[in-house]
Amino acid sequence: MNAPFRICFVCTGNICRSPMAESVFRAHLAEDGLDGLVEVDSAGTGGWHEGDGADPRTVAVLRAGGYAHAHTARQFRASWFDRLDLVIALDSGHLRALRSLAPTEQDADKVRLLRSYAPGAAADAGSGELPGLLSDSDLTGDLDVPDPHYGGFAGFEECLEMIETASEGLLAAVRTALTSRAVVAARAPAHDAPPAPRDRHGSRAKECA
């Protein structure tokens, strides 16, 4: 059985934007029947809020939208790259920080910007099973999900709307990646069964019927 496809959403403190994205994307996966194939988590680039719950305004917006939510904030660690397939940054600052943290170029390529999957964004022009890989020159801030922490409730509602819109495109990309994995697995050559052991007289042991 293939390992699950693993995604981690990352913002600054892991109390506003990334837990919101985690909850929304979990719901999309469940609706699409992919929740058993994809694991979703979230974290922050900093550890200021480690152990805390999500911002109460995040919780309120998620509840109003009908999203289930339980959360404990964590800080992203470089060692996590090895087990993750995608690291989704909520803004360009997070993306740069995460790529700088990545141990290898391959790990850095796992970092994508969430809104690059929104309709009409740069991901539409991408190629491969997981589009959305932007160069630093593409990071103008136009695709950021803005930090609502120091604003009012309306800012959290705006973030949720942006996240919901981009999640549709991300879901399509993940679905494509899962299909590609299944095709590769189906094409993998079957391993021949090992020969039956010989007894002490050199004869093959009989297989059980």
- 138 noted as active-site residue: no
Are the C-beta atoms of residues 13 and 44 closer than 8 Å to each other?
A: yes
Measure Cα distances from 17 to 34, 142, 143 in Å. Answer: 23, 16, 14
Predicted pLDDT of residue 125: 40
Q: What is the pLDDT of residue 193?
A: 52
Which structure tokens are listed for 61? 């917006």
Q: In what order do the strands lie in the sheet with 111-113?
A: 38-44, 5-11, 86-89, 111-113
Collect all residues with Cβ–Cβ distance below 8 Å to 17 and sequence separation of at least 6: 9, 11, 90, 91, 145, 147, 148, 159, 163
- Tens of pLDDT, residue by residue, the chain (209 residues): 578 999 999 999 999 999 999 999 999 999 999 999 999 999 999 999 999 999 999 999 999 999 988 999 999 999 999 999 999 999 999 999 999 999 999 999 999 999 999 998 754 444 445 555 555 545 556 899 999 999 999 999 999 999 999 999 999 999 999 998 876 666 656 555 555 555 544 444 444 33
pLDDT value for 97: 97
Of the residues 8, 11, 16, 159, which is catalytic? Answer: 11
Single pTM value for the model = 0.83
pLDDT of the residue at 131? 55
CATH 3.60.20.10 is held by the domain 5-187: no
Instruction: Please give the pLDDT value at position 123.
Output: 45
State the catalytic residue, choosing from 32, 52, 85, 147.
Answer: 147
11 is catalytic: yes
Is residue 110 within 8 Å of residue 87, measured between CB atoms? Answer: yes
83 catalytically annotated: no
Residue type, 10: V
Contacts of residue 132, defined as CB under 8 A and 6 or more positions apart, other chains included, come to 112, 113, 116, 117, 121, 122, 123, 126, 170, 173
Domain ranges of the chain: 5-187
Catalytic residue among 16, 17, 41, 144: 17
* Nearest Cα to Cα of residue 86 among 116, 72, 104, 107: 107
